[in-house]
Amino acid sequence: MVFVLVTVGTAVAGLRVSAWRGRAVARLASRKDEPAFSLPSPALAWRELIDRIGTSVPGSPKDLPVLKLRLLRAGFRDPGSVRVFRGTRAVLAVAFGLAGLFAVWRANVKFVMVPVFAMAAYMAPGQYLRLRIARRQHAVDRGLPNALDLMVVCVESGLGIDQATIQVSKELRHAHPEICDEFAVVNLELRAGKRRAEALHNLADRTGVDDMKKLVAVLVQTDRFGTSIAQSLRGHADYLRTLARQRAEERASKLAVKLVFPIFFCVLPSLFIVTIGPVMTRLVRDLIPMIENM
């Protein structure tokens, strides 16, 4: 009986395992079924709508290179970012204009507010782009000294300038992703066949940071005249840290002047109320009855 039970149990387990395996193979096998109808994603539909509107919106050919450069400095490298930007501007202007008309009809708002709403909505993407550029440039400026120090270590260990930029873009990926992305683009341009000086000048144009432009000038001169790259990078890193220290000292010296207005309008009134308020209350409470009795 024990032998029969063990045999039957083993056979049932084997059949079940084989059935599981067959079902798994059937799921993994490619089936030529008809594709099911599915609704597009709202985000993709909205992106497609804005892209089409941006394509149909007329734009000045003279402003196109400037807009592309601003989008690159903000971190938008997609080829269709110009169309998305123009489409977003047009959609926001029309939407806020219609909202202004609805406000005129329902809330008795003056009609002059309609073009004000439309103009503010039209200018909002440009202001967002300006803030994003400033934030990205600040991040690049903050991470440049650390990138230079790591680049000096890589160059002194025997790597070339191209391999040093690749290593920096890998090591500082989590600490300073913005400057690592720019170095990665430089490496891609060098692999595509561009000259090193051209790739470095493109790096300075994409970032728009003054310190990066100075670094590019140092690297181009070093490559042209054949001087020591490690010594040039170390001197430039020391210069950037000295410049950052001087900027911090300048901001600290301006702090006393900037605190005059908050102290005068916020701190002094409350201080006067706390110190002179009880005295004035007691004087009024004691002097008014004396004056009335006189």
Mean pLDDT taken over the chain: 82
Low-confidence winner among 99-113, 159-173, 194-208 (lowest mean pLDDT): 99-113
Q: Where on the phi/psi map is residue 31: left (φ > 0), alpha (ψ -120 to 50), or beta? A: beta
What is the rounded distance in angstroms from the CA atom of residue 138 to the CA atom of residue 134? 6
The residues, any chain, with a CB within 8 Å of residue 109's CB and separated by 6 or more, are: 100, 103
pLDDT digits (tens, 9 = 90+) for 253-274: 888 888 888 888 888 888 888 8
Instruction: For domain 137-248, give its CATH number from 1.20.81, 1.10.10, 3.90.350, 3.30.450.
Output: 1.20.81
The residues, any chain, with a CB within 8 Å of residue 144's CB and separated by 6 or more, are: 179, 209, 211, 212, 215, 240
pLDDT category at 34 given cuts 50, 70, 90 is: very low
Average pLDDT over residues 129-134: 94
pLDDT at position 130 is: 94
- Rounded to two decimals, what is the model's pTM? 0.71
Average pLDDT over residues 108-131: 85
pLDDT at position 118 is: 86
**CA torsion angle 193 197 200 205 (round to 10):** -100
Tokens standing for 222?
């070093």
pLDDT at position 28 is: 60
Residue, of 27 and 128, whose pLDDT is higher: 128
Comparing CA positions, the residue from 129, 102, 285 lying closest to residue 208 is 129
Average pLDDT over residues 27-53: 62
The residues, any chain, with a CB within 8 Å of residue 199's CB and separated by 6 or more, are: 186, 189, 190
What is the rounded distance in angstroms from the CA atom of residue 188 to the CA atom of residue 183? 9
Comparing CA positions, the residue from 201, 202, 207 lying closest to residue 141 is 207
Task: Give me the phi and psi of 49, to 5 degrees please.
Answer: -65, -45
Amino acid at position 33, single letter: D
The residues, any chain, with a CB within 8 Å of residue 93's CB and separated by 6 or more, are: 118, 119, 121, 122
What is the rounded distance in angstroms from the CA atom of residue 231 to the CA atom of residue 225? 14
Q: Where are the domains of the chain?
A: 46-54+62-135, 137-248
Report how far apart, in Å, the C-alpha atoms of 275 and of each of 65, 259, 262, 269, 280 are: 62, 22, 19, 10, 9
pLDDT at position 127 is: 93
pLDDT above 80: residue 37: no
